[in-house]
Chains A and B, each alone.
Chain A
């Protein structure tokens, strides 16, 4: 790779931007960590749950930024380059969270809670979902990130995505305002909750099977498109 420094066609040495001397960011990191902990204690005064939300939020953002985990790339890269590495990462994340989800729900069902929470958390599969999914898919590729990705990059200081964030909020508010109208289109739409159909154990098996099949398909897709399975 050192060839990149060799002379070019015109015989001139390759000019690189001079590297700016970097300021140490560790003092800022320490200060921020102290502020996060202090704010956590402040939140803990009123309710017991807010500090937990706070820490999970911070951890989620940190992991998202460091891992460059991107839901947009998971669905976009297979079409553009044929690379499915992010797609497979999302599949693994879905598999892990399915197990955790079952554990939480099952524990609550055993503890006497509603076995299906009256389907309150289950969204109907109807026309609004289909329209919304297509619009969201188009929008996230143009905006360069989904919801979490946009937030993460605003935090990184990428200015273009501040614009995305403004319209993302505007769109969400608009959507929330018109929720009643969209709800009318969902009156006959089916609600599917896998544990109701297959039972708790069956649901996790079926879900796992679907994820494994998608994973295999992702590997095959990349092999076909790029000739490598890395």
Chain B
């Protein structure tokens, strides 16, 4: 149940998605990854990708136009 963070602030998509994809493959089941993003497009496609992969996803808007996506690796 380790927790990892991924800083993608200032990165335009698709960079956050690709970084998340790469990082998630390193994690083991039950680990949590927190991705910080400020690109509205990534706010849509990162959670969408993670949900389709079957992970648990939670989005939190920490500031105006800045989000934290919490992904729990489910499989």
Contacts and interface: CB of A to CB of B under 8 A. Distances in A.
Contact of A81 (B2, B21, B43): B21
A77 B52 contact: no
B39 A158 contact: yes
B52 A230 contact: yes
Interface string A1-31: 1011011110000101101101000000000
Given A1-B72, A145-B12, A160-B12, A68 B21 contact: no
B56 A153 contact: no
A203 B68 CA distance: 47
A20 B72 CA distance: 24
B23 to A, nearest CB: 14
B66 to A, nearest CB: 9
A70 interface: yes
A20 B62 CA distance: 7
Contacts of A7: 1
Contacts, number: 94
Dominant SS among interface residues on chain A = loop
Contacts of B56: 1, 3-4
Given A3-B72, A19-B62, A80-B17, A14 B48 contact: no
Interface residues of B, number: 34
Interface string A115-158: 00000000000000000000000000101110001000100111
Given A3-B72, A8-B1, A149-B41, A83 B52 contact: yes
B39 A153 contact: yes
Chain A interface residue bracket vs B: 35 or more
A68 B40 contact: yes
B18 A80 contact: yes
Interface in B23-75: 32, 38-41, 43-45, 48-49, 52-53, 56-58, 60, 62-65, 68, 70, 72
Shortest 10 CB-CB contacts between residues of A and residues of B: A144-B12, A8-B3, A17-B62, A9-B2, A68-B44, A1-B56, A4-B70, A81-B49, A1-B58, A226-B52
Interface of B: 1-3, 10, 12-15, 17-18, 21, 32, 38-41, 43-45, 48-49, 52-53, 56-58, 60, 62-65, 68, 70, 72
7 contacts: A1-B58, A3-B56, A8-B2, A17-B63, A83-B49, A144-B13, A157-B65
